[in-house]
Amino acid sequence: MGYDTVPTWYLDNTTTREFILSLEIKISVVCNPAIPGYSLCLTGHRYSNVLKFAEKQYLFTEMTITHLQVKQLYKELLKYGSSLKLTDKNYYKIRIKQEFLNNKQLVKQEEIKFFYDKGQELLKRNVYVSIISMYSLLCKALPFNTISVKSARGISLTLFNKKQTIDRSKVPIINENELEEMFVKGSGPGGSAVNKNANCVVLKHKPTGIVIKCHESRCVEDNRKIARDKLAIKLDVIENGDESVEAQKKAIMEKKNAQKEWKRKKLETLKRDWIERESSFKP
């Protein structure tokens, strides 16, 4: 039993790296002296030649672009052109058709693969941009500062949400047993019915003695909810101080105002330098 020559049908049906692995397995079996009647019929020189030939056969198979693949790429590029918003769709369609007509006469697989990869790169870039747009919107909607995602094509993205979030985890929870609630008649604009109905809410927090009076709506339930929100804000300021929600909002506003002032001063400096520079060139 010899392996000096590799059968043609084997290469035609198995033009992959599995052929090389199977060849190594066969040689190891042939080289086994424990099996009677088997001897090494494939020398090292021929073995290396077979490996080189199989590798070339595999690379050729990988590089071959079929007519069906080119046709599918053409359809995908035209489909991508119909979704363009900032480019003339007719111009794009004409360019794609012209490129495919120009490359129709290509025979060499290297040239066909080169132009095929260019079309695939255009589609991959489009998928990458759409993934970034989708996950950037998702990142804005979520409360996280950082989000890492991986697409089906293996594109790994890490998007950052620059919007500063406020920590509300320390806001105290109001216990209804500690509240004393009263409903009184309201006053102010809104018609005579405002002074007749007892829809003004007076809320007192027994442990701290804080009193909240709310008459921002004609609906009693809305006033009750608003009064409790105001009470929670006051309790948060008393208990948490600089870490309260109001303090965090104030710090964010101060930072934004400082950035605006810095930009304004920088712009003024650039304008002044430009005026001085231009005036120096006058005769």
Taking only the tens place, the pLDDT of each residue in 177-192 is: 999 999 888 776 666 6
What is the span of the domain harbouring residue 106? 52-141
Within a domain: residue 206? Answer: yes
Strongest mean pLDDT among 17-21, 31-35, 45-49, 79-83: 79-83
Within a domain: residue 148? Answer: no
Strongest mean pLDDT among 16-25, 72-81, 121-130, 143-152: 72-81
Quickly state the pLDDT bin for 39 (edges 50, 70, 90): very low
Averaged pLDDT score across all residues of the chain: 70
CATH number at residue 210: 3.30.160.20
Among 141, 159, 184, the domain-final residue is 141
Dmax over CA atoms of the chain, in Å, equals: 115
CA distance 130 to 109: 31
Among 243, 262, 277, the domain-final residue is 243
Residue 138 has pLDDT above 80, yes or no: no
Residue 140 has pLDDT above 60, yes or no: no
CA distance 18 to 14: 7
Who has greater pLDDT, 20 or 218? Answer: 218
Within a domain: residue 161? Answer: no
The 10s digit of each residue's pLDDT in 60-78 is 444 577 878 888 888 888 8
Within a domain: residue 238? Answer: yes
pLDDT of residue 52: 54
The 10s digit of each residue's pLDDT in 238-256 is 999 888 999 999 999 999 9
Nearest Cα to Cα of residue 42 among 3, 5, 11, 10? 3
The 10s digit of each residue's pLDDT in 156-177 is 545 444 556 788 888 888 889 9
Quickly state the pLDDT bin for 10 (edges 50, 70, 90): very low
- % of the chain exceeding 90 in pLDDT: 22
Quickly state the pLDDT bin for 139 (edges 50, 70, 90): low
CA distance 117 to 112: 9
CA distance 268 to 273: 9
Within a domain: residue 171? Answer: no
Quickly state the pLDDT bin for 34 (edges 50, 70, 90): very low
pLDDT of residue 262: 95
Range 127-136 burial, b when 16+ CB lie within 10 A, else e = eeeebeeebe
Within a domain: residue 260? Answer: no
**CA 62 to mean position of chain CA atoms:** 31
Residue 276 has pLDDT above 80, yes or no: yes
DSSP state of 104: G
Do 134 and 57 sit in the same domain of this protein? yes
Do 58 and 123 sit in the same domain of this protein? yes
Within a domain: residue 262? Answer: no
CB 220 within 8 A of CB 201: yes
CA distance 47 to 31: 13
Residue 223 has pLDDT above 50, yes or no: yes
Do 182 and 228 sit in the same domain of this protein? yes
Within a domain: residue 276? Answer: no
CB 234 within 8 A of CB 210: yes
Mean pLDDT of 96-108: 80
Nearest Cα to Cα of residue 183 among 208, 214, 229, 206? 214
Q: What is the dihedral of CA 71, 74, 75, 78, to 10 degrees?
A: -170
pLDDT of residue 126: 60
Among 91, 121, 141, the domain-final residue is 141
Domain total in the chain: 2
pLDDT of residue 226: 93
pLDDT of residue 91: 82
CA distance 137 to 141: 6
